[in-house]
Structure 1
Amino acid sequence: MRLILVRHGQTSSNVEGLLDTAEPGADLTELGRRQAAALPETLGEIPVDLIVTSTLVRTQQTAAPLADALGVEPWVRDGVREISAGELEMRGDDDAVHAYLEAIFSWGNGNPAARVPGGESGEEFLARFDAVVDEVVATGASTAVIVSHGAAIRSWVPARSDNVSREFAARTPVGNTGVVVLETAAEAWTTLTWEDQAIGGPAVDTSLTDGPAGEPLDVDA
């Protein structure tokens, strides 16, 4: 099957550079709504059978135009929500953002038990995201879209794809409404494309508007 992972559109917390991971989370900005509105045209020729969103409102708002265009009722699943920032929630200072990203990218370096301060471990995150993906695969759908979050996508893909490294994911952002496409044969996932540019909307400086989960991290630093 083909699995299309889409990061939600821009939010006010992205603009302010905040680690906003708790429910319900910020709404989409006007730009975020334009980005969401562009998804049907961007994915329009792909026969999507199933759409899944997280419990955070920004993913549901992002998925709505695509769901309306396809006449598909999205599933809402807690398992694909953003990685909890714990004690760092709603902080945007450099120390907090670095601590968050450093923790999640340490999971792919043989340390899945590491925990975001006051938040989740890699084992906990992967278990919940895997459970949703397994549920999707079990439907027999040929193509499914999961509208999720930047850190979640950048953590799950290198953990489960046979051709994306932790280093690549750490250094390569997924912008708002950026798309990562994977396919599976048997039990192995292979990443076909990794899109780190926003879909729709005007050209913007993503370093200022995509938020902490869209920032690159030098894992060798």
Structure 2
Amino acid sequence: MPSRFIVEADGGSRGNPGPAGYGAVVRDGDTGQLVAEAAEFIGHATNNVAEYRGLIAGLKAARELDPDASVDVRMDSKLVVEQMSGRWKIKHPDMQPLAAEARTVFPRGRVTYTWIPRERNKDADRLANEAMDAGQAGRRWEPKPEAAVVVEPPLETPAPKAGWAALADLGTPTTFVLLRHGETPLTPEKRFSGSGGTDPELSDKGRWQAERAAEALAARGSIQAVVASPMLRTRQTAETVAARLGLEVRYEDGLREVDFGDWEGLTFGEVQERYPEDLAAWLGSAKVKPTGSGESFTTLTHRAGVARDKILTRYAGKTVLVVSHVSPIKTLIRLALGAPPDSMYRMELSAASICAVQYYADGNASLRLLNDTSHLR
């Protein structure tokens, strides 16, 4: 099964431009354990060039471990993160070929970029300085043998700044209003209903719930765009709300529900009876997929993260209604909180419920609302 890695990278230049070097570490995405590191003195260069070189080295180190992996890159360079995420143009001729090389290491869509504060990037920064020290002393940087046992807890998103007031200088956040679709005939029976099943439509109650959500969101008055999963139940829900708001619906495949494989249409009890070992393994690891052609939560996390970043880029500073399913919405909330994968089993998300997450320009996120069903009473 493809791995998930976290790459932390940094670069520095003493003089900018001056003697420069980079450092990068690769961590297991689930445990946070350090699995690879790289550093090099690169001679006379700028900080930005060194940072890009560190990014490339980190990506290549991850590819050597698993060429099919998905990667979350975390850097304290706002420039590199924004440029590689596609939100800022790359104008400097020294960085254009480096960015192009970085994009060739893994296929498009398998790498996401997150800004982190400098204090959260201390290992890559340390390696960059070690490389510069070695280069200026006429030596090659060599890894320390004890480095492989360093363990830090995995972090999905950077911790919020101290104090809410610190967010005031980051400009208008992008707000996701997350709406779960209304009920289908399978919902009250609590049957697995993912993207690999029958794609059921809304029931009469589900259509009523969509109408109530539309009324509540119209009263809210701040929705500026609607993006939805292309599955039938989410299309029907989104189109009901969008018609009330006078907006068009844009569809994003990354927001579809996870594929539950051979479990589609079954209750939890039926799966437990027929596939007890597979179910236990699935509940124990986000990397395990349901029986058959199912999709793991690790895979879902990657595509939901890519969808999130695309929406953030297109609708920066706006309030967007995102109509999706239980698993993708829980995943977006989990990532916003920096919570571990098993936190998804501790969230309740009712049919046609509303959640809200705000995303700030520095990469931080804030959960504002969870499982609001007041419009359905």
Q: Normalising by the residue count of structure 1, what TM-score does the alignment of the two structures yield?
A: 0.77
Alignment of 1:199-214 (within 5 A): 199-200=375-376
Picking from 331, 339, 351, the partner of 1:176 is 351
* Distance in 2, Cα, partners of 1:149 & 1:65: 16
Q: Specify the structure having the higher radius of gyration (Cα).
A: 2
Picking from 41, 58, 61, the partner of 2:236 is 61
What SS does structure 1 have at the residue aligned with 2:305? helix
What SS does structure 2 have at the residue aligned with 1:195? strand
CA-to-partner distance for each residue in 1:89-139, whole Å, 9 max, x for gaps? 111141527976983x65xxxx44222333112331112111211111111
Distance 1:58 1:102, change over 3 A: farther
* Distance in 2, Cα, partners of 1:198 & 1:24: 30
Distance 1:115 1:167, change over 3 A: closer
Aligned to 1:5: 178
Tell me whether 187-196 or 15-24 shows the greater mean CA deviation. Answer: 15-24
* Distance in 2, Cα, partners of 1:101 & 1:154: 20
Contact 2:180 2:352 in 1 (8 A): yes
The Cα shift of 1:71 comes to: 1.7
Letter in 2 for 1:89: E
Tell me whether 127-136 or 163-172 shows the greater mean CA deviation. Answer: 163-172
Instruction: Say if 2:325 is the partner of 1:149.
Output: yes
Percent identity between the two aligned chains: 22
Contact 1:177 1:199 in 2 (8 A): no
Q: What RMSD, in angstroms, separates the aligned Cα atoms of the two structures?
A: 2.5
The Cα shift of 1:73 comes to: 1.1
* Distance in 1, Cα, partners of 2:200 & 2:248: 22
* Distance in 1, Cα, partners of 2:258 & 2:280: 10
Q: Which has the higher contact order (CA 8 A, sep 6+)?
A: 1
Tell me whether 133-142 or 77-86 shows the greater mean CA deviation. Answer: 133-142
Instruction: Say if 2:224 is the partner of 1:52.
Output: no
The Cα shift of 1:144 comes to: 0.7
Aligned to 2:190: 17
Distance 1:26 1:6, change over 3 A: same
Aligned to 1:116: 290
* Distance in 1, Cα, partners of 2:281 & 2:248: 36
Letter in 2 for 1:3: F
Contact 1:175 1:198 in 2 (8 A): no
Question: How many residue pairs align between the two structures?
Answer: 195
Contact 1:85 1:100 in 2 (8 A): no
Q: Which is richer in strand?
A: 2
